[in-house]
């Protein structure tokens, strides 16, 4: 019965996305929803995009093992990322009326930097999207009681999400995200209420977690712990800022105030609701400790779905898996669209300058199809957890894209040479450190960020001096 409810919900949500797709007429509709979305829709799509598989499955599994200290990257870093975007990046980026984040790098630093940063952004999405596809396979496997294998579930999920994303783009994503945000919120609140009673009440779960040390957040006062904690925090907090999906939500807004406020509201909502799955997962230690013991060291991502299946009535199961599928679908569709749009606009179009708007729209759709196939293959082959796949996705944008974006907006002396050296040195140092000393005292992404900062300041100052001498 649960499987049929899931199938019905899946078909209805895809149908809504395809219905909205009929309103897509050009690349502005496809990539930026016609720059027309109101505050409540943009807030919903910011929240729904980030509330994905890692929030419902990955973060709770990590919290069970490591407590709050282990989830500093997400939700703490990720929600702060959205708030920082609203405070410092949304308005200046919105005013530029660009189609992609890659356009900013071309205008500010030139074609070479545009290509390099765009490739880094596209690569960063591989792990993130693959995590959503992996989660879809897990959900279909659980609700079908193993009738659908995880690999088959990944293929089914990826194919259906791709359909409305391919045709409807950002317009379909925004409208379906709005609906899915409502389902996520209602589903999470209801299932928390249902399971808290079984566990002995909210206070019982919180007191048990506190006694077990799960609320210890700050690192031990030694260099290794402090530096590792800081690096994990900024990887998602800063590395997520120069991402196309964030930029699309900014630029799809109907005005700059909406762009700013929606980012702040979406980030705040995400932070609050991300704690509900952690609460649900930890309640399993009181409701069914044998279940936790069975899966904690083998596949901890299964603890929460198995708990719902074994200890909740059908209606609660429908609410939970409806919310989970909504979370995954909204995140997957957004992260399929974002790299595809920026690759088509900033890589392909640059080599075919006479391309018409309709031709570019076709290219974007072709890239969505190819990218879906690629990430599905990665999801099937990868052995990493959902949380680790998402956490690692932002390292490359942290070291290669954040400094050029921030300095390009707020430092008037930033030059094309500074931008090029920032990208090259940041990515280069990070790759070398990952290869030579991935577990060093200074994490590779932190070393790359320092190198990126050095390249930006050094390159820009050298170029400025040359210009002064020439004058």
Chain segment 2-24, per-residue pLDDT in tens: 778 878 877 887 788 788 777 77
CB 46 within 8 A of CB 82: yes
CB 326 within 8 A of CB 180: yes
**Residue 468 confidence class, pLDDT cut points 50, 70, 90:** low
Query: What's residue 409's pLDDT?
Result: 95
105, burial (CB in 10 Å: exposed 0-12, middle 13-18, buried 19+): buried
In this prediction the pTM is 0.86
Which helix or strand (DSSP H or E) is residue 232 part of? helix 223-239
What is the C-alpha separation between 369 and 357, in angstroms, rounded?
19
In angstroms, the Cα distances linking 27 to 32, 95, 180 are 8, 18, 24
What's the average model confidence in pLDDT over 147-157? 88
Average pLDDT of every residue of the chain: 86
193, burial (CB in 10 Å: exposed 0-12, middle 13-18, buried 19+): exposed
What is the C-alpha separation between 138 and 150, in angstroms, rounded?
5
Judged against a pLDDT cut of 70, whether residue 334 lies above it is answered with yes
What CA dihedral angle connects 103, 29, 46 and 53, to 10 degrees?
-100
CA atoms within 13 A on the CB side of 117: 35
Least Cα distance to 50 among 180, 165, 156 occurs for 180
Q: ∠ CA(272), CA(252), CA(14), 5° rounding?
A: 75
CB 133 within 8 A of CB 376: yes
**Residue 398 confidence class, pLDDT cut points 50, 70, 90:** very high
Least Cα distance to 398 among 78, 106, 146, 48 occurs for 78
What's the average model confidence in pLDDT over 410-436? 94
Which residues does 383 contact at the CB level (< 8 Å), separation at least 6? none
Q: In this prediction, what percent of the chain has a pLDDT beyond 90?
A: 34
What's the average model confidence in pLDDT over 276-285? 90
Query: What's residue 471's pLDDT?
Result: 52
309, burial (CB in 10 Å: exposed 0-12, middle 13-18, buried 19+): middle
Query: What's residue 430's pLDDT?
Result: 95
**Residue 352 confidence class, pLDDT cut points 50, 70, 90:** confident
- Helices 202-211 and 150-199: crossing angle in degrees, nearest 10, is 100
**Residue 429 confidence class, pLDDT cut points 50, 70, 90:** very high
User: What are the tens digits of pLDDT across the range 216-246?
Assistant: 989 888 888 899 899 989 998 999 899 888 8
CA 290 to the chain's CA centroid: 32
In angstroms, the Cα distances linking 383 to 130, 131, 134, 359, 386 are 11, 11, 10, 38, 9
Query: What's residue 392's pLDDT?
Result: 65
**Residue 384 confidence class, pLDDT cut points 50, 70, 90:** low
Query: What's residue 259's pLDDT?
Result: 93
List residues bridging with 37 in a β-sheet: 253
Tell me the chain's radius of gyration from C-alpha atoms: 22
**Residue 275 confidence class, pLDDT cut points 50, 70, 90:** very high
3-state DSSP assignment of residue 253: strand
What is the C-alpha separation between 284 and 192, in angstroms, rounded?
12
- Whether omega before 75 lies within 30 degrees of 0, making that bond cis, reads yes
Query: Residue with structure tokens 């995400």?
Result: 270
What's the average model confidence in pLDDT over 65-85? 91
Q: Which residue has the higher pLDDT, 35 or 215?
A: 215
């Amino acid at each position: 019965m649960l499987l049929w409810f899931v199938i019905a919900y899946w078909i209805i949500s895809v149908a809504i996305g395809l219905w909205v797709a009929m309103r897509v007429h050009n690349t502005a509709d496809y990539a930026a929803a016609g720059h027309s979305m109101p505050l409540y829709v943009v807030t919903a799509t910011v929240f729904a995009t980030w509330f994905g598989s890692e929030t419902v499955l990955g973060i709770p599994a990590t919290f069970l093992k490591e407590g709050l200290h282990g989830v500093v990257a997400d939700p703490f870093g990720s929600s702060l990322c959205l708030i920082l975007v609203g405070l410092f990046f949304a308005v200046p980026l919105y005013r530029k009326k660009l189609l992609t984040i890659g356009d900013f790098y071309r205008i500010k630093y030139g074609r070479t930097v545009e290509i390099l940063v765009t490739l880094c952004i596209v690569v960063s999405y591989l792990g993130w999207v693959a995590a959503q596809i992996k989660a879809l396979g897990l959900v279909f496997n659980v609700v079908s009681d193993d009738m659908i294998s995880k690999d088959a579930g990944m293929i089914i999920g990826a194919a259906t999400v791709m359909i409305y994303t391919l045709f409807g783009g950002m317009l379909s994503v925004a409208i379906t995200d709005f609906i899915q945000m409502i389902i996520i919120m209602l589903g999470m609140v209801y299932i928390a209420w249902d399971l808290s009673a079984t566990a002995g009440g909210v206070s019982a779960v919180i007191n048990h977690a506190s006694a077990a040390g799960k609320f210890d957040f700050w690192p031990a006062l030694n260099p290794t712990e402090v530096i590792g904690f800081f690096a994990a925090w900024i990887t998602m907090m800063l590395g997520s800022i120069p991402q196309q999906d964030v930029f699309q939500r900014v630029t799809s807004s109907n005005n700059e105030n909406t762009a700013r406020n929606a980012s702040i509201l979406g980030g705040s909502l995400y932070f609050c609701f991300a704690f509900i799955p952690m609460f649900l997962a930890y309640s399993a230690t009181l409701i069914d400790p044998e279940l936790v013991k069975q899966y904690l060291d083998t596949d901890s991502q299964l603890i929460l779905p198995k708990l719902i299946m074994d200890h909740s009535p059908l209606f609660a199961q429908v609410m939970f898996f409806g919310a989970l599928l909504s979370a995954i679908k909204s995140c997957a569709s957004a992260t399929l669209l974002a790299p595809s749009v920026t690759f088509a606009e900033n890589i392909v179009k640059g080599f075919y300058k006479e391309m018409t708007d309709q031709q570019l729209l076709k290219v974007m759709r072709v890239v969505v199809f190819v990218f879906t196939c690629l990430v599905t293959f990665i999801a099937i082959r990868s052995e990493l957890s959902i949380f680790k796949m998402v956490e690692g996705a932002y390292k490359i944008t942290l070291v290669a894209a954040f400094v050029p974006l921030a300095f390009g907006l707020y430092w008037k002396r930033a030059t094309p040479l500074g931008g090029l050296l920032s990208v090259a040195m940041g990515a280069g140092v990070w790759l070398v450190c990952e290869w030579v000393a991935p577990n060093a005292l200074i994490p590779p992404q932190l070393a790359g960020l320092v190198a990126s900062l050095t390249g930006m300041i050094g390159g820009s100052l050298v170029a400025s001096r040359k210009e002064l001498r020439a004058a």
